Amino acid sequence: MFKQPDQPSQNNWKKRLQPFFETIQMIVMALLLYFLIDSMVARVRVQKVSMDPTLVPGEVLLVNKLAYKFGGIEHGDIITFHYPIEPDLDYVKRVIGIPGDEVIVKEGTVCVNGQELFEPYISAPPEYEGQWDVPDNSLFVLGDNRNPSADSHVWGFVPQENVIGKVFAVYWPPNKIRGISSPDLFSYNP
């Protein structure tokens, strides 16, 4: 009896191609996951000393882009935003005044609506003075390193539409990994 040579069956081809299709599927899923996470979380590198000692140059931050889609901006939040004068630049600062607030900096203290802020995180008391009334849809922001910081006391208010999101963690370098929370600026504890 004559025997025909074995020909690869359709099942054999499927077995041979299965690792290829699984690899493609894994790559597609990884890309989808990356873009999903990227649409919700930004990564920002601290480049200047304006937020020292809270944040220092070289640290990389995680920013929740959805934080203000479901809640309001609060006093003490550390935010990233497009610099109002040059929108291609992104800045990191702390929210001190929200719409309707009166901010007064005098004799080394910051007061919002007549109440002195509790700010144990600043590097030194401000050496400048001024008064600002925060307009609608705007924020008054200051760096934690008050005196050398270019912030609202120098160039004015941040339009709320410029806000990218709320900083919630430092993830680089590994020895500096930590969460970032907003302090209660109005609970004065001398």
Residue in the structure block whose two tokens are 């007061």:
111
**Does residue 93 carry a catalytic annotation?**
yes
Residue of 48, 65, 69, 93 with catalytic role: 93
H or E stretch covering 168: strand 163-172
- Interacting residues of 155 by C-beta distance below 8 A, sequence separation 6+: 84, 85
Q: Is 48 a catalytic residue?
A: no
Are β-strands 138-142 and 158-159 bridged in parallel, bridged antiparallel, or unpaired?
Answer: antiparallel
Residues 126 and 163: their CA atoms lie apart, in Å, by: 25
CB 47 within 8 A of CB 89: no
What residues does 9 pair with on adjacent strands? none
**Catalytic annotation, pick one of 9, 15, 50, 65:** 50
Residues that are catalytic: 50, 93
